[in-house]
Structure 1
Amino acid sequence: MKRRNWMKDLEEWKKKKDEIEKMGPESSCPTCGRILGEKYEEIVENFSKKIGDGRKKIKEMEKEMEELKEGLKSIEGKMEELEKEKEEIEKEMKELVKAEKELNHYVESKKEKEMVEEEKRKEMEKLGEVKFDEVRYEEVKRKSMELEKIQEEIFVLKSEIQKIPQLDEVIEEMHSDIKFISMQLEEVHKKMDALDFSKEKYKEVEREYEEGRKELQEKREDRIKIQGEISQIEREIERLSKEIEEQKKQREKIKELRKEIQILEILAGERDTGLLNDFKRYLISRIGPLLSSYASTFFSIFTGGKYNDIEIDENYEIFIYDNGERFSITRFSGGEEDLANLSLRLAISQLIAQRAGNIFQFIALDEIFGSQDIERRRNVLRALGELSNQFSQIVLITHIEDIKDSLQHIINVFEDEHGISHVAIE
């Protein structure tokens, strides 16, 4: 009856589970009528759990019955062994009884022989000295040893006989165990019959349960996948929000920069107009003539008096006067152009030192002889020598070897075979 009720419930659960899975989470509960919604998976899981518990229970009963059968087989095997042992002991007891009878016979016979021998000994004493029969003596000795051996075997058999009550108790316990296991096995059979167990229905339910479990697992995996996609979309939305916010900040910066550009455009004006251009022209008007004067002095020394005047215009372009006529620096050779630029560098250095309120005592010139011929090199060196009155220290950096003799001190920098630089002073 219980089995029928259980199977009825099981079928009902399976039916309800199938109905709910077909209808989906948006359907109404067949019992209370409410929308399943979030309870959908919980209800399906509950039905699956009940079906799984029933399946587990049947497997446990089958396992229990198999264990009882194995235990019964083991006890039956032990019973057979004990029965064989009992038969062997009974056989030994029969032999023991037979041996004991033989022993008693030999003992009686020995006593009689001893009595006869005693009588004969007494008679022999009366008769006097007699001849010793060694053959007869050995025969009697042999039989005595045989009797002692039989007596030892009787002692061993008696010890085994004492074990018989214990074996009977063990056999009795085995019978009790067999009876108890038989009752349990019979009870299991009754339960199985009451459950109306059918392997075909069980396999069908098991198959349906496995299909439902796989379907539920797939739905769970789909849900996890969808949740992952939602999380990814949320992260993308967050990233885009940050980018939008950053773009807003950049637009604000651009507005500020445009305002600054407008102010700078007002200051700069067109190419030839604006506050900056006006200020530059103002500076040139103030320092241009002085720079031109200083540069002209240096340029005249460097060229040996060939060119005496240099003019610096408002764009800092250099113009050289040749025989009173004004020419752009591009008209002259590369060496003369380098000398003009060197003159302007020295003029700017001298002007800065004067405006700073300090006497400019040091100047460094890098590779100023590269484009000059021998005569111009001598002129530059001679002019720098005259400038030593104004500059206490003049440093020339050059790769030209033939000017060494004209210098006061020489510092050589060279590299060894390991790539390490060294300094040597001459």
Structure 2
Amino acid sequence: HRTFKKGKTIQHDATFHKEGKLRATGVSQVEAEVRRTLGMGPVDFRNTIYAAQKDLLTLLENTPGRRKEWFLRALGIDYVKTESDRLLREHIDAKDRDLRLHEGELKGLIDRYDPEELSKLQKLVEQLSIERKDLEDRMVSHTERRKEVAAELHRFQEKKTEYTRLVERHASLSGDKKDLVRQRERLFDQVKSLPGLEKECQDLEKEVSALDAKKQNLEGLRNKKSEYERLKSEIRFTEKQWKELDTRVGKTRANIEIIDKDAERLASLRKGVRELLRIGPQIPDTDLEQAAQSMEANLLHTIGTLSARLEHLVEERKNLAADWKIIEEAGPHGICPLCRQTLGAHYGQIEGEFSSRFDRIEKEALETCEQKDRVTVEKDRIDQQKPALREIRGISERLKNRLQLEQDLQELLAALRRNEEERKSLADRIVESGYDETAFLQAERDVRDLERVQVRCIELGKQIAHGKAQMSQLEALGTRIQDKEGEIAHITAAIENSDFNPELGTRLEGTLEGIDSGIRAAGAEIAANSERVKGAREKIERYKKDEEAIEELKSRKAGLEEEIGLLRLTRSMIGEYVLYLMQVVRSRIEGEVSHIISEITGGRYEQVLLDEDFNLLVRDIDDDFPINRFSGGEQDDIAVALRIALSRYLAELHHVHESTLLIFDEIFGSQDEERRTNLLSALRTQESRFPQIILISHIPDIQGEFSNTLMVEMA
């Protein structure tokens, strides 16, 4: 049995029992056990026990080669021939492709292989090795000379460094001296203005003495201004509150007017909904929307039921129309698709029954559509009232707020009265404060001017103190300038006594550069020599690998040529073996057919021959004749004998006991009664060899010819 799982592959379970015992479990194991038990595969087993509807017709076929093709297929010889030929051809083609590939590779290697070039490369490597030794000796000589020149240049660089340090120190001291002289001159200019600054500072101190009194006056005015600003801010806040309260009073009164109008609208809407939906006074106003929803749910359920019924009627009519189309196409002389009997005189009665069922379905569908339309109209009426129901719900919610709005209005009016009293009180307090904005601004200007004078006085004091310090700096700068001049004189004498010679350094650098050029040239030649040696050795290695590859490819080529020859010989031998096998099969089947035809015909025909194309020749008296020379009944006997002979040959080939069953499926075709009777007589002659012969036929006249009959009918 098979197990199906959604979204997964099909699973097969199989078990095999023999003589009450479990022999195998699983598809592969069961298949192997069945093959072992039967002694043959499924195709041979089918051809042994089962004769299909067209087998006898094919055995009597006059078309050249058709009978031979059938025998080759039934015996499995065509599979041996075609499959072996295909497999061998594929192997030959694959080996041939490999051979051509190896031949191409071998030709390419032979074309580029040159023994003389290999000898030249080996000599070149020896010559390059000698040249490299000379270059390395030259490199060593240049390196030793460079060390000597580099040491001498190093000593020169030390002297140059010391000389450069003295020159740079002399320049640095000269620069420091110039900076000190400039500082002394700048300080001298600043010290000259010191008496004038002292006189200006004394005058400003007299003006600054009145600053404290001015600040005390300004502080008193600031306190009054702070109180004044606070009162003004409170007045502005109360005015803002008054505006907000006045706005809220207007909005609250407007909302009360709207709610009064909504009450009138609510009564009108409820009256309209009751009239249109036919809702009586037993339903209170608060439950109108719930009653409408209940009515809508009932109508939707009814519409769903009617729609399902319509779909069922459409499907029923579709199936009925399909059945009628099959019967109508078959006609009065056709076969009923249900009972497989000829319609005949029942055709008119069946047509009337189908017509009556069509009328009933159409009438019921029309009534259902009309009923659905009526229910849909009722639902549409409810849908049209949904906006009114939503409006009723909204107005009802708003009406709940009217009492709260009245209370809010009274509280807002009381707050307005308190706000007006508070504003009047604040205005009186501002007048009582006596604050003067002009006097406050003048006091601020006076204090600001005196504070600037005070800042200038402090700055002058700092400048005067700094000037006195600068006098001391002038004396110190004079001493530092004298020290710098002494150090400069000492360094100048050291520079004049130095033995540093710039020309010697130039000569040493030129010599070193020449040596470096020689080293680089020798290194470049050594590198070039190494590359040439490397390239030559790589070519030598490649030539050696080519020699090995050529020998290997020659060996492979010879092996492939030998394999191709053996495969072609095998293909030829299999073809000859198939011819031999067909001759053996023909001779075996000829004997079986002759024996069986003798039994069927009561000894009238005793010998049947098969030529190379499996054409039948039957011996009659003293000559052999083709089957088309005989009557239809005799041809049927020959075909049955030939088919039984094939079954017995296959059973014997697989060492199966010949007492088995035979199944003939629709072998009577369109024979008349005489030929059918003749076929049955022929089969009865084989009952001693086949204890069970099963005939499958749709012809009712032959039912009485059998000891056991099974009827198969459609449900």
TM-score range, shorter chain: 0.3 to 0.5
| More helix as a share of residues | 2
TM-score (norm 2): 0.24
Higher relative contact order (CA 8 A, sep 6+): 2
TM-score (norm 1): 0.37
